[in-house]
A and B are shown apart, each in its own frame.
Chain A
Amino acid sequence: MNETSLNISIREVTKKYDQFYALKDVSLEIKSGEFMTLLGPSGSGKTTLLMVLAGFTNPDYGSVKFGDEEVILKPPHLRGIGMVFQNYALFPHMTVEQNVGYPQKLRGVSAAETKRSVEEALNTVKLEGLGHRGINELSGGQRQRVALARAIVFKPKILLMDEPLSALDKKLREEMQIELRQLHDTLNMTTVYVTHDQKEALTMSDRITVINHGELMQLGTPNEIYEHPNNHFIADFIGESSLLPVSIRDGKTSLNGEKIVLAEKAEKDGDYLLVVRPEKAFLADKKVKGANYFSGKLIDSIFQGESQLLVVKLNSNDDGQEVRVRVPNESVTQKALPEVGQTVSIGLKVADSYVVS
């Protein structure tokens, strides 16, 4: 534990509404100074968990510790956290300066020190010189920055963010992702970030916690979550993937009767799903060893700028199982693209072939 951040220890946090669990026995250790993202679809419980950390929602039972201190019984204003809300929640009747200085004023900080810290915070979020502006004179991106400055001005040890970028347009959002990440590296406060945008989570996080139906599904680095999803929900939710049903009998794997080779053997026989990431699948002219091949009919070919997305319907599959293949936009590959309607052969390296339950 260092002086700028605190670790967060969540144990058995449970919140039940009528018939369903918003959170079910969630236990999670967030390291001091870590950028942790809570990722899940809407209604998964990720925001509820953040609200429990902030103190706005009381769970039915469970424990939340900041450092060694139990905070679950403390009201929000005594928890000393910085928080950024989805719709910024700026005070419309105050100027930028007054907004950012608000937490300092509450803490009885002297006028001179408040002025200095407000300037510092505005510099940090690159809003120097806009202190006298009214909130309604700011663009969405600027409001986001004010909200951020207000949350960090008193140097909280824990920063909570609830989908702070969701209202921004795509380009600005991607810029802000990188900036927030850099800001975190500079300030080094423990950050808990809620989003439903898997790409955002992959871009920004030290570690990601995937939540669904109020339960913790997987916890890991962006790389672990992407490359080794625990189950089909995560494989489907994180990144793009086509999931093909396979069966494993006596340790041998087959897809629609055809034998395929997996990177790692499954522990038990049974029915699984083969994860095919579009960027890992490739068009195969000739078959070489060390890869699995499927043939199918090209039913759609979509130009997406940086790549061409091919939708292939597998021949052997009566259900019309589709596999997507992403071909990078290079002059060579673009020229050799097959026509829609053609039969194509798709390859997937054995090292990239894994199944989920």
Chain B
Amino acid sequence: MRSLFNSRPLSVRFLLVACLLTALGCVEEIEIETDRESIDQARNALVVEATLTDEDRTQEVVLSRAADFENDSIVGFDEEDPDTYLVPDLDPENRPILYETGASVTVEDDRGVQFDFVEGEPGRYFSVNPFAAEAGRGYRLLITLRSGNRITSEFESVPGTASLEDLRAERATDPLRGPGIQFAVDGLATAGTEAYFRYTFEETFKVVAPLWSPEDFVLSNYDPCADPVEYDLEIVTRTTPNQVCYRTEESESIIQGTTVGLSSGELRNFPVHFIDRQQYKIAERYSILVRQHVEDLDAYLYYDRLRNFSQEGNVFSQIQPGFLQGNLQPQADAPLLVIGYFSVTSVSERRIFLDFEDFFPGEAAPPFVVPCVLRSSPVTHLTRCPLVPVMESGSGCPLSVIELLDLGGLITYYATYDESLQPGDPGYAICPGPYSYAPRVCGDCTVLGTNQVPDFWIE
């Protein structure tokens, strides 16, 4: 039941209708089991992410392995109950992905010219020199894995051009997610009238730490085994600017549109993204870069099928899933499933900036990503050696300041504790120490982003 109201809008409405009509059947989350054969098959599945564009730049190919369910529970981060100290980590670098290292990657054009790639980071292969896919040329991807297995793609070429005519943001209301900002594009096919578009976007937004202070803790010489515990705790002026940062998130869903069947050759007001007004992303200045890839029909269908397989459709008729064959084939005898599609696209992009005030004038800004409250606890604790259960050590008090800092800097300094606080006041602590502190994410914006102003940023 819980998941029902929290899933994607597409089918929830219909499900609700069904539920109401039928006095509530419903959807529940389950765990599924796996078997040996499936595990072996999954481990032998190579994932290829390769989109060659007509922009003159360093091109990138990412190789990874699928994960079987023995090692990874299919149920992941619970958005409904995020731990206050943790923020969903959207950085692909930090995901538990089994990257395929040590492969040799080459793109070859139809004249036999080869563009070599080198592994810059584990599993991420970058072209040695920047290059652009040229119109009218065929390109194919050649991969030789460390195991010696070879994978070859079909020849693909730039399937025409189009321009991203406009990107706009409008205040809108989504029936399920309430008021927010709708981003929509106009895409115009410039060669002929038929084009298939795949949209990706990159959101960059300013994050201001709400409980930032110019000073911070510095812990040194900590020895939890000494009795009494040894440590030096200083409060020093911050040297790195971490009140204002910029966070960048990549789009996750497959967004595709087409001008096929449209007389104008232009896809107008096509919605690519919606942010509801409760999201902290738009609390400060926000920017979105939408990239429009012109792809060919096969690539479009590949992504379309992938999308169909991973959404609910409707409760009554589920799309029959199966293995999706792309345009990459392993050599005949390789015990390998190859997932992914090597596409060659023509890209055009647009970026816009916006402020919350422009869309919701006079309204309260959305809350920060996590609730930020000041806490306080004793600075130190009893010795941990021999190991004493934490709860017994502080007679019900939260972890001590030095432990929280030692655990990876979970907190940042805010101020000295105000002894006059009464129960119910913000920042009141049952078991106060000398300092008020904040969860690190509330006092140090580098948890969420970078403190470097991006090159493209315009205030």
The judgment on whether A and B are partners is no
- Contact surface of A with B, Cβ cutoff 8 Å: none
- Contact surface of B with A, Cβ cutoff 8 Å: none
